[in-house]
Amino acid sequence: MPETKTKAKKSSRKKSDALAEHGISDELALELMRDMLLYRRFEEKAEEGYAIGKIGGFCHLHIGQEAGAAGSIKPLRDDDYVMSAYREHTQALAKGVHPNAVMAELYGRKDGSSGGKGGSMHIFDADCRFMGGHGIVGGQVPLATGIAWKIKYRGEETVSLVFMGDAAVNQGGFHEALNMAAVWNLPAIYVVENNEYGMGTAFSRVSRTDMSTKAVPYGIPSHTVDGQDVLACYAFFRDLADKVRHGAGPQFVDLQTYRFRGHSMSDPVSGTYRSVEEVLQAKEERDPIALLRDTLMEAGVLDQETLEEMDAEARQVSLDAADFAEASPPPGPEALYANVWAEINPNGRLFFDRRPESEEAS
């Protein structure tokens, strides 16, 4: 359950119509609730882990943005590709990466999704087709375009969906990638998780044009979606992915959302760049979990008892993940030099510090 019990703003439409309108079954709606509760509790557990020094480095939480992960990834097929930037823990969970593997990665442990070598910003799972976890703003956009290239090259019917923050649209690689995707009609879905701030810089301070215009010069259809409404997101991405896998070409989505925590763990919740009131108001009015709760309760699909059961389960899974991470050993020293190279050529030296050599000798 979100911290606030305040009801979301009343919509003029009857909420019980929302499920039918989006073609979402009661079961699916409850599953989305369960997923978002897990993402929230998981991130809170990560926050706690960071506070007590179990997690180091940079750690960017997704709290407040859960509907974007569930609503865009859950409608995809298992063989669709998802790539993201560095605020990606919950997106990895949504694509099927096990919470234990994600938490163990945050802890820097052997059983982490990258064996403890990637950390919070580099969650990968080839089997789930979760393609990372990339730390350079916008750097993943050309990469995901290359995945879309491969899909078209091989004539497959999958899609490549990539997340980026709003700041990424000011990077050159974003524009180069979108241009190529349009020219070659690639099955790529570019999703801007527009939480209004690139770190501490409001988007309006670094762009004279609106987000919805950014893909227009390339002839790419642009869509604006309420990223706090998981039902609307789900329905939108279900239909969009279907079109893209059947040749509609690249798409651009302005997924409007809001971050309830600081940019990273070193940034206070509101920081110097936004007011406490602004954050509180967003939490009251735009909490995706509270919004879905109200919709489902009003529709009679969810009652308080079930919600509490679901929440207890989410807390348990997160706790189990933390316990799993804690129990997992750190990577052994032999991991330091492992997987630098996919192919150790039989001739010549690849390492220049001579340490692997001396270790072999010892």
Q: Give the nearest distance from C-beta 93 to other proteins in angstroms.
A: 17
Name 130's bridge partners.
Answer: 82, 125
Q: Give the nearest distance from C-beta 289 to other proteins in angstroms.
A: 31
Residue from 342, 360, 361, 362 touching other proteins (CB under 8 A): that is 342
Region of 63-71, 229-237, 244-252, 333-341 interacting with other proteins (CB under 8 A) = 333-341
Residue 131 CA, chain-centre distance (Å), reads 11
Helix (H, G, I), strand (E, B) or coil at 46: helix
Q: Which residue has the tokens 């019917």?
A: 157
Q: What's the rounded Cα separation, in Å, for the pair 304 and 207?
A: 44
H runs (alpha helix) in 169-287: 172-183, 203-206, 230-245, 276-285
| Helix or strand run (H / E) with residue 251 | strand 251-256
| Interface positions, 100-129, toward other proteins (CB under 8 A) | 113-118, 122, 124-126
338 touches other proteins (CB under 8 A) = yes
Region of 20-28, 137-145, 204-212, 272-280 interacting with other proteins (CB under 8 A) = 137-145
Q: Which residue has the tokens 């070598």?
A: 117
Interaction pattern, residues 139-178, with other proteins; x per rule: CB under 8 A = x-xxxxxxxxxxx-x------x-----------xx-xxx-
| Interface positions, 22-81, toward other proteins (CB under 8 A) | 81
Name 41's bridge partners.
Answer: none
Q: Give the nearest distance from C-beta 102 to other proteins in angstroms.
A: 14
Task: Print burial letters for 253-291: b (CB count within 10 Å at least 16), e (below 16).
Answer: bbbbbbbbbbbbbebeeeeeebeeeebeebbbbbbbbbb
Q: Give the nearest distance from C-beta 144 to other proteins in angstroms.
A: 6
Q: Give the nearest distance from C-beta 342 to other proteins in angstroms.
A: 4
Q: Which residues bind other proteins (CB under 8 A)?
A: 81, 83, 113-118, 122, 124-126, 131-136, 139, 141-151, 153, 160, 172-173, 175-177, 179-180, 183, 338-343, 345-352
